[in-house]
């Protein structure tokens, strides 16, 4: 039996261009226990934040993980990096199983995998100068700082050297995000998680940071996992896109396939809800308005988890609906596709970007 | 409305040369520096700008939420149906706020009081402005929760804000704002904190309520997508001033200010196949304590010349009736826009 979000048989859809893929995630699970009781804490249930995710990212590729708040996209990223311990599953980084690594091994592996956070205000220590923040990184991961290290690093992210001895509060949001990026790329990692890196920035600054991230990927050969809810930036920056809902991947495809030919009703609703900055397009475009909110991940619906909000479910007959209620839909290839998968019993294309 | 003598023939809400300055240790912060606009019944007018452009401060000033001191208002007037809010005694202002003009905020969690039941908060709002009994006010709160699409309103009425999801809280705040049937609704980033599927629900709700009640909506946002799909007219703000104003189509298809053009050109588009590179606006938004001389945008502008540094360009008519832009190089912007569309 295939669980929702798992790939069969081995999760490798896109054949790696040279040897092992940069990142392989097999059936990753992260459940948070819910405890109750005053003196004796008993576990009374689990929040199934990530419930069986499989994903492969090739070298130099950018894969976006999108979905609404609470879908588990950030927890997935943190579990991949072992910033939270996964409940089960396996993560291979450049062929090395990092889920089994001990403390010292993990510290070495951290040189290869880094994260850039959404909020550059919260992620920099206000009492340290930029030079201290960046130097600390080298010390923590056991590397030497030479005289030119910091200035070279700042130059790479588009900041002048004289900024090195200032404190974070002296910078604007965009500049702070550049510092966050500098810290992440300091030790030449192979794999970087970008967790909503431009969401907190002003519109005119977002494009600067997106361009910088793309330049760095070219120069340093980085592989990105891009966590986002802004689908416009996702369409620009990613090669492939995975859509998450309530802890599982519901659709995964190459970028243009996903936006031009989405199969899953949730993907279709999500794309249709993003307003496009073009009044004439907006006037003729139809928005699929979903009912209600995302259900509680501690108690997800049976069968297909999206069915309680699904616009398609409402159009089905009683017997068709029973399939959605009873059977979790596997993440299957859509007709005629080699890499495009959708987890829906009644998956069918619906164009939502233009019409 | 009679008791405060409003003029039915004057514009519904009018802001005239409003200036809101703050005296700080680092100099005078000119958060709003000479802003004028007006809005009519049933209209949606967007104020677009980045953080620090003054878009929220101007709205909060309308509602009297800006304390003076520290704020000073060197010039300007706010008129509701011809009656000046700024010259009105505080007592009369309070009558108008919440009744004729209401506001919804970006973050409903900070706008709702966590220790009171949602229903009681809405009922209190009703009783502040209408002489009705508690029971009638509570019934009105129930109706409002139903009207804004909250399921099981009778149960929700007796719950606290933390028991609501983000989208439901935003609906509750809209219910509270609508409790006295305001003529003007100031919506400050009403959907920024919400997921897109919930954002679509909330915007659809606001449109429906506007149709039913002919409410004027001032939509304050940085999201050009939301603006494109909901606004009738747009004011673009930069560093405390309106730099361009026009209909939604004029702003999107005939931008005449370099900043408007830069903003539109920098956007990643979900409905377009990937362009090679995004075209960002260079530099950072200015500190309002130290706004560049002349056109505040000139240090970041690709069209800037010495003329831009000399004096602040006034808003002048460009193509179309009512379409104005404060840009020395509006002709060059027009050419650049056409070239960009052609490619």
pLDDT band at A9 (very low <50, low <70, confident <90, very high): very low
Whether the predicted pLDDT of A286 surpasses 70:
yes
pTM of the shown model? 0.87
Distance of alpha carbon B258 from alpha carbon B256, whole angstroms? 7
Looking at residue A7, what is its pLDDT?
A: 40
Answer whether B286 touches A (CB < 8 Å).
no
A235 closest CB neighbour out of B248, B263, B274? B274
Does A306 touch chain B if contact means CB atoms closer than 8 Å?
Answer: no
Provide mean pLDDT across the span B186-205: 84
Portion 127-186 of A in contact with B at CB < 8 A = 172-175
3-state secondary structure of A165: helix
Gap between the terminal Cα atoms of chain A = 37
Which residues on B lie below 8 Å from A231 (Cβ)?
Answer: 196, 270
Q: How far apart are CA B205 and CA B253, in angstroms?
A: 27
**What separation in angstroms does the CA of B170 have from each of A12, B105, B148, B178?**
42, 8, 10, 12
> Quick check: A265 and A345 in contact, CB under 8 A?
no
Alpha helices in chain B (DSSP H): 55-62, 90-96, 108-111, 118-129, 134-147, 153-156, 166-178, 196-213, 224-230, 248-253, 258-266, 306-310, 330-342
Q: Is A6 helix (H, G, I), strand (E, B) or coil?
A: coil
Closest-CA distance, B92 to chain A, in angstroms, reads: 38
User: Are the Cβ atoms of B262 and A204 closer than 8 angstroms?
Assistant: yes
Q: Which residues does residue B246 pair with via DSSP β-bridges, in sequence order?
A: B234
Residue of B167, B169, B190, B195 to mutate, interface with A, max A Cβ within 10 Å: B195
Spell out the long-range contacts of B155-160 with Cβ–Cβ below 8 A and sequence spacing 24 or more: B156/B118, B156/B119, B157/B117, B157/B118, B157/B119, B158/B117, B158/B119, B159/B117, B159/B118, B160/B114, B160/B115, B160/B116, B160/B117, B160/B118
CA–CA separation, A268 vs B230, rounded Å? 21
Mutate to test the interface with A, among B56, B279, B280, B301 (most CBs of A within 10 A): B280
CA–CA dist B175, B185 (Å, integer): 12
Summarised one tens digit per residue, pLDDT across range A228-239 is: 888 999 999 999
**Would you call A271 an interface residue with chain B, using a CB distance cutoff of 8 Å?**
yes
pLDDT score of B263: 93
pLDDT tens-digit readout, B12-40:
999 999 999 998 887 888 999 999 999 99
Output b/e per residue, B116-131; b: 16+ Cβ within 10 A.
ebbbbbbbbbbbebee
pLDDT for the residue B78: 92
Question: Rounded CA gap, A178 and A159, in Å?
Answer: 8
A2 confidence band (pLDDT: 50, 70, 90):
very low
Lowest mean pLDDT among A2-11, A317-326, B112-121: A2-11
Q: Is A42 exposed, middle or buried (0-12, 13-18, 19+ CB in 10 A)?
A: exposed
In whole angstroms, give the CA distance from residue B114 to residue B127: 20
> Does residue A214 contact residue A237 with C-beta atoms inside 8 Å?
yes
Averaged pLDDT, B130-139:
89
> How high is the pLDDT of residue A251?
97
- pLDDT for res B4: 55
ipTM: 0.84
Buried b (16+ CB within 10 A) or exposed e, A146-170: eeebbbebbebbbbeeebbeeebee
Contact A276 B195 (CB under 8 A): no
The pLDDT assigned to B37 comes to 94
User: Residue A271 pLDDT > 90, yes or no?
Assistant: yes
If we measure between CA atoms, which residue out of B159, B152, B150 comes closest to residue B178? B150
What does the pLDDT look like over B77-94, one tens digit per residue? Answer: 999 988 888 888 888 888
Q: Do A275 and B278 touch (CB under 8 A)?
A: no
What pLDDT, on the 0 to 100 scale, is given for residue B166? 77
pLDDT for residue A354: 65
**Chain A residues lying within 8 Å of B281, measured CB to CB:** 204-205, 207-208
B101 touches B44 (CB < 8 A) = no
B-chain CB neighbours of A210 within 8 Å are 268, 278, 280
Place of tokens 């027009």: B334
pLDDT at B231: 95
Q: Residues, chain B, total?
A: 343
Question: Which candidate, A49, A26, A27, places its Cα nearest to that of A294?
Answer: A49
Q: Alpha carbon of B179 to those of B112, B119, B126, B147: distances in Å?
A: 14, 11, 6, 11
Quote the minimal CA–CA distance from B197 to chain A in Å.
6
Contact between residue A48 and residue A71 where contact means Cβ atoms under 8 Å apart: no
**Residue range A36-44: mean pLDDT, rounded:** 81
DSSP, residue by residue, A69-89? TTSSHHHHHHHHTTSS--SEE
Say which DSSP state B273 is in. Answer: P
Largest CA distance in chain A: 71
pLDDT at B284: 84
Q: Which two tokens stand for residue A2?
A: 């295939």
> What's the mean per-residue pLDDT of chain B?
88
Q: For B267, which of A69, A232, A279 is closest by C-beta distance? A: A232
Quick check: A274 contacting B, CB < 8 Å? yes
The more confident residue out of B199 and A78 is A78
CB A93, CB A26: distance < 8 Å: no
| Dist. CA B196–CA B123, nearest whole Å | 30
Contacts of A283 in chain B (CB under 8 A): 229
Residue A11 has pLDDT above 70, yes or no: no
What single string gives the DSSP state of each residue in A275-333?
PPS-HHHHHHPPP-PPPS-PPPTTSPPSSSTTGGG-TTGGGS-HHHHHHHHHSPPP-EE
> Which positions 224-243 of B are in contact with A (Cβ < 8 Å)?
224-229
CA distance A221 to A15: 18
Q: Quote the minimal CA–CA distance from A284 to chain B in Å.
A: 10
* Cβ burial, residue B290 (10 Å; 0-12/13-18/19+): exposed
In angstroms, rounded to a whole number, what is the distance separating the alpha carbons of residues A65 and A247? Answer: 12
The CB density around residue B191, as the number of other CB atoms within 10 Å, is: 25
∠ CA B41-B42-B43, nearest 5°, is 90
Q: Is A232 on the interface with B (CB under 8 A)?
A: yes
Distance (Å, whole) CA A237 – CA A214: 8
A202/B51 touch (CB, cutoff 8 Å), yes or no: yes
Q: Say whether pLDDT at A14 is over 60.
A: no
Q: Answer yes or no: are the C-beta atoms of A25 and A56 closer than 8 Å.
A: yes
The pLDDT confidence band at residue A5, using thresholds 50, 70 and 90, is very low
**pLDDT at site A159:** 87
Q: Per residue in B270-298, pLDDT tens?
A: 888 767 788 899 888 888 888 899 999 99
The share of chain A scoring above pLDDT 70, in percent, equals 94
Chain centroid offset of residue B165 CA: 24
Q: Could you tell me if A270 and A243 are in contact, meaning their C-beta atoms sit under 8 angstroms apart?
A: yes
The answer to whether A250 and A343 are in contact (CB under 8 A) is yes
Our measurement of the distance from residue A15's CA atom to the centroid of its chain's CA atoms, rounded to an integer in Å, reads: 21
Pick from A68, A207, A281: which is nearest to B271 by CB? Answer: A281
Percent of chain A predicted with pLDDT > 90:
54
Alpha-carbon distance A190 to A113, whole Å? 6
- pLDDT at position A120 is 73
Say if B274 is an interface residue toward chain A (CB within 8 Å). yes
């Amino acid at each position: 039996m295939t669980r929702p979000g798992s790939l069969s048989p081995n999760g490798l859809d896109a054949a790696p261009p040279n040897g092992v893929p940069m990142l392989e995630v097999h059936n990753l699970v992260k459940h948070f226990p819910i405890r109750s009781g005053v003196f004796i804490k008993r576990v009374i249930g689990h929040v199934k934040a990530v419930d069986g995710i499989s994903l492969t990212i090739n070298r130099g590729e950018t894969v976006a993980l999108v979905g609404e708040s609470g879908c588990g996209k950030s927890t997935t990223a943190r579990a991949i990096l072992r910033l939270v311990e996964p409940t089960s599953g396996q993560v291979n980084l450049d062929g090395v199983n990092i889920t089994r690594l001990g403390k010292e091994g993990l510290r070495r592996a951290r040189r290869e995998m880094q994260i850039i956070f959404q909020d550059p205000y919260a992620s920099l220590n206000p009492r340290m100068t930029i030079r201290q923040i960046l130097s600390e990184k080298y010390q923590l991961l056991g590397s030497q700082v030479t005289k030119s290290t910091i200035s070279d690093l700042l130059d790479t992210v588009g900041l002048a050297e004289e900024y090195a001895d200032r404190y974070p509060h002296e910078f604007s949001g965009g500049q702070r995000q550049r510092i966050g990026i500098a810290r992440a790329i300091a030790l030449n990692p192979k794999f970087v998680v970008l967790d909503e890196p431009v969401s907190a920035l002003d519109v005119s600054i977002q494009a600067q940071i997106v361009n910088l991230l793309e330049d760095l990927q070219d120069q340093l050969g980085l592989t990105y996992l891009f966590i986002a809810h802004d689908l416009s930036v996702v369409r620009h920056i990613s090669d492939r896109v995975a859509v998450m809902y309530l802890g599982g991947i519901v659709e995964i495809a190459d970028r243009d396939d996903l936006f031009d030919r989405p199969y899953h009703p949730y993907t279709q609703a999500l794309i249709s809800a993003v307003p496009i900055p073009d009044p004439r397009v907006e006037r003729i475009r139809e928005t699929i308005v979903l009912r209600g909110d995302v259900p509680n991940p501690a108690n997800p619906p049976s069968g297909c988890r999206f069915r309680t909000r699904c616009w398609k479910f409402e159009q089905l007959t009683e017997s068709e609906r029973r399939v959605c209620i009873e059977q979790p839909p596997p993440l299957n290839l859509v007709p005629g596709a080699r890499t495009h998968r959708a987890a829906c019993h009644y998956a069918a294309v619906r164009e939502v970007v233009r019409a | 409305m009679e008791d405060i003598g409003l003029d039915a023939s004057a514009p519904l809400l009018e802001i005239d040369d409003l200036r809101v300055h703050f005296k700080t240790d680092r100099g005078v912060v000119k958060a709003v520096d000479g802003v004028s606009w007006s809005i009519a019944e049933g209209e949606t007018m967007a104020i677009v700008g980045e953080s620090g452009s003054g878009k929220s401060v101007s709205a909060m000033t309308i509602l009297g939420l800006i304390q003076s001191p520290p704020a000073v208002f060197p010039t300007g007037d706010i008129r509701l149906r011809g009656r000046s809010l700024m010259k009105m005694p505080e007592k009369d202002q309070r009558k108008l706020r919440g009744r004729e003009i209401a506001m919804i905020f970006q973050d409903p969690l900070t706008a709702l009081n966590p220790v009171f039941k949602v229903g009681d908060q809405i009922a209190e709002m009703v009783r502040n402005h209408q002489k009705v009994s508690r029971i009638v006010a509570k019934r009105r709160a129930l109706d409002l929760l139903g009207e804004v699409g909250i399921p099981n309103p009778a149960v929700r009425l007796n719950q606290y804000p933390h028991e609501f999801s983000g989208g439901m809280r935003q609906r509750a705040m809209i219910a509270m704002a609508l409790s006295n049937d305001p003529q003007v609704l100031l919506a400050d980033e009403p959907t920024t904190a919400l997921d897109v599927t919930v954002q679509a629900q909330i915007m659809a709700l606001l449109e429906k309520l506007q149709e039913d009640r002919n409410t004027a909506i001032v939509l304050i946002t940085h999201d050009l997508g939301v603006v494109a799909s909901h606004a009738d007219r747009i004011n673009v703000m930069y560093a405390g001033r309106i730099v361009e104003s026009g209909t939604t189509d004029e702003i999107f298809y005939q931008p005449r200010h370099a900043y408007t053009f830069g903003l539109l050109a920098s956007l990643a588009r979900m409905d377009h196949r990937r362009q090679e590179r995004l075209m960002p606006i260079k530099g950072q938004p200015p500190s309002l304590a130290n706004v560049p001389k002349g056109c505040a945008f000139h240090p970041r502008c690709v069209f800037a010349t010495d003329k831009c540094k000399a004096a602040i360009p006034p808003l002048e008519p460009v193509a179309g009736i009512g379409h104005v832009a404060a840009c020395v190089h509006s002709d060059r912007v027009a050419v650049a826009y056409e070239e960009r569309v052609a490619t």
